[in-house]
Amino acid sequence: RLITPDGMVSTLAGSEVGYRDGPAHAARFGRPNGLLLDAAGNILVADLDNNCIRKISPDGMVTTIAGSEERAYADGPALEARFGAPNSLIFDEAGDLYVAEAFYGHNLPGWPRVRRIAQDGTVTTVAGNGRRGYVDGPAAEAEFHFPMGPSIDHNGNIYVADDFNHCIRVIRPDGQVVTLAGSQQYGSRDGPVAVAQFDHPFWTALAPDGSLYVADSGNNCIRRIALP
């Protein structure tokens, strides 16, 4: 939906649930989640149930730029790549697009990973081996439970809210995944990152002063991590 400065609400794109590209008023989405605006004024959409990334252009056309309706895992050219319920998006300073993906449902594959769509349209896996779990270490071997809401700092560190692991993870430029704050034990505790607790952290946002803000959904509050 679109909210204009004069307080009017209108539907920008989409109608019934489904999957359809084309004119915005006739396009269909399946639980659109993360939104991101690029420098050209395009709105990028993580289309969760359709397992793809969509683009709403300023001229009112909706196109699929990566993935397809098929829930699967594959790197490669954007339209041949496959995703498993992408939920959130972020650009790095170079203009590459990062996608956090994971799927709710204990009896369904989750494929929790962080992926990158380069400007040339190539999709690669940044971190996560596709299994639900909690493992730090080399990015290709790391395990997440439900990564979402990533932020990227000037040094290339990717901060991820790992919802069901109740913690904030960092994918470092050296290819290592580490836990920044919290643990698998949910709770509500402020203090040093080694003892702090979260309850289903949902999103992260970096402030100009370098602080990392976290939407702590289970505790119904916004937390701040003072980064070194």
DSSP strand E in the chain: where? 2-3, 9-10, 22-23, 32-37, 43-47, 52-56, 61-67, 76-77, 86-91, 97-101, 113-117, 122-127, 137-138, 147-152, 158-162, 167-171, 176-182, 201-206, 212-216, 221-225
Interval 170-219: pLDDT, tens: 999 999 999 999 999 999 999 999 999 999 999 999 999 999 999 999 99
Count of other CB atoms within 10 angstroms of residue 137: 12
- As a whole-number percent, the residues of the chain with pLDDT over 90 amount to 92
Q: What is the pLDDT of residue 112?
A: 95
Domains of the chain by range and CATH?
Answer: 11-127 (2.120.10.30), 152-227 (2.40.10.500)
Asked whether the whole model's pTM tops 0.85, one would answer yes
pLDDT score of 122 more than 90: yes
Which residues, 6+ apart, have CB-to-CB distance to 46 below 8 Å?
A: 32, 33, 34, 35, 53, 86, 87, 88, 89, 99
Interval 127-138: pLDDT, tens: 999 999 999 999
